[in-house]
Structures are given as structure tokens and as C-alpha cells.
Amino acid sequence: WGSAPATSLLSLAVTSEQIEHLHRRFKQLSQDQLTIRKENFDSIPDLEFNPIRGKIVHAFFDKRNLRQESDGLADEINFEDFLTIMSYFRPIEMNMDEEQLDRFRKEKLKFLFHMYDSDHDGKITLQEYRNVVEELLSGNPHLEKESARSIADGAMMEAASICVGQMGPDQVYEGITFEDFLKMWQGIDIETKMHVRFLNVDTIAHCY
């Protein structure tokens, strides 16, 4: 599989063992093809548990997350793209300075922001917020749509007050921009929580 360009992988600062693990996983998901499509994620039963499964899978194909110039959704991703998405979840390293940490944090928060902002216009509108809340609360048959909506509306108002302060009665809050989003996550150490750690397996995985 040695065709992946070495330079871009180095920037991920993942060990070669971990890349091999992830490659095995990629091959398993893609059923030995070179690319993965949305349907391939259906083969993960544990993922069905997850209420925002759709948004997570969507995030893998979101061109903004794949650091591509264009906008919209990709149809399929290759191993390099897979690693790019996984890099949003790498743990912080000890030797990072302030600036690197800040950039690291912004990247992770951008990933979460893109999850909310489904129409890619750079703002989380009330409708998009409602969508997320409804998805998270979906599957509960006793919950009425109105309850979910009112929870979302309440939360949105809260967000507005944090970001814009007191609004006049005629002011319309258009949506949460990325700067506002950052404000709301202040104080939460997302960079230490949003990661997936590899187990320290001190030997290499199989070679095929």
C-alpha cells in the first residue's frame, strides 16, 4: 500500500504502527477496495447505537474537513482522506507550544462546527440547531416533536445571549458563526478530551 505520500502523513505525527492499524481497518471497511463510500459504514454494527450516526458519517465526506478547496460532499474517500479525518482526533503532544495548541484546538472545534452547519454557509441557524437536537433526541417514542423544538429554541436563545448580549425586540439572530462557537466552548479543554488513544501495542500488526 506504499503509495500514500509520506510528507502529508508525517504531519499527522502518528507512528507507523498506528498507520498500519488504521490501514487494516480501512481495508476491512472498504472490503479491500481503494476507496470508501457512505454505504461501507453500514457494516459497523456498533455505530447504529449512535443517534448522530448520519452526521458522523457525513463528516467523513465533507470536503471542508478533508481540507479540499471546493465545497460540498465527496462521493468516496481514499486512505489519505481517512487519515485526515482521523487526525482531528489525535491526542495532544507534550512538546506543543501555545500557538500550536491553539491551532490544534481550533481545528477540532471546526470539525464539530461543521457537524452542526449542514448547509455549509458558515453559520449555525436555528433550523440546523433544531435538526441536531431532534436527531440526538430521536428514537424516543414518547418525546413529541414540540418538546424537542422548544428545547432547541431555548438553547439557541441562550447561545444568542452569550454571543450577542442583550438583543432588542426587533433584532434577529442570524446564526452562530464560528467565532461565536469558539466563545461558547471557552473553558472546555476540548483538545484534551477530543481524542482517541491507541493502546500501547509494542509490536507491529500483520503484513499481508
Partner 1 sequence: MFLLLPFDSLVVNLLGISITVLFTLLLVFIIVPAIFGVSFGIRKVYMKTLLRIFQWATLRIERGAKEKNHPLYKPYVNGIIAKEPTSLEEEIKEIRRSGSGKALDTPEFELSDIFYFCRKGIETIMDDEVTKRFSAEELESWNLLSRTNYNFQYISLRLTVLWGLGVLVRYCFLLPLRIALAFTGISLLVTGTTVVGYLPNGRCKDFLSKHVHLMCYRICVRALTAIITYHDRENRPRNGGICVANHTSPIDVIILASDGYYAMVGQIHGGLMGVIQRAMVKACPHVWFERSEVKDRHLVARRLTEHVQDKSKLPILIFPEGTCINNTSVMMFKKGSFEIGATVYPVAIKYDPQFGDAFWNSSKYGMVTYLLRMMTSWAIVCSVWYLPPMTRQPEEDAVQFANRVKSAIARQGGLVDLLWDGGLKREKVKDAFKEEQQKLYSKMIVGSHEDRSRS
Q: Please give the residue ranges that form the binding site for partner 1 (CB under 8 A).
A: 21-22, 25, 28-29, 41-53, 55-56, 86, 89, 112, 115-116, 132-133, 136-141, 143, 147, 150-152, 154-155, 158-159, 181, 184-190, 193-194, 196-199, 201, 203-207
Smallest gap from residue 117 Cβ to partner 1 (A): 12
| DSSP annotation of 88 | G
| Residue corresponding to grid cell 439557541 | 156
Tell me if residue 124 falls in helix, strand or coil.
strand
Smallest gap from residue 65 Cβ to partner 1 (A): 12
Strands (E), 117-181: 123-124, 176-177
Smallest gap from residue 170 Cβ to partner 1 (A): 25
Q: Which is nearer to partner 1, 63 or 149 (CB)?
A: 149
Write out the three cell numbers for 134.
Answer: 431532534
Q: Please work out, in degrees rounded to the nearest 5, the angle formed at the alpha carbon of residue 128 by the alpha carbons of 51 and 49.
A: 5
Q: Which is nearer to partner 1, 121 or 144 (CB)?
A: 144
Q: Which is nearer to partner 1, 3 or 186 (CB)?
A: 186
Q: Which is nearer to partner 1, 44 or 96 (CB)?
A: 44
Q: Are 28 and 44 in contact (CB under 8 A)?
A: no
Phi, psi values for residue 73, rounded to 5°: -115, 140
105, 136, 153 from 142: Cα distances, Å: 38, 14, 19
Smallest gap from residue 11 Cβ to partner 1 (A): 20
Q: Which is nearer to partner 1, 7 or 142 (CB)?
A: 142
Write out the three cell numbers for 40.
Answer: 461501507
Smallest gap from residue 200 Cβ to partner 1 (A): 9
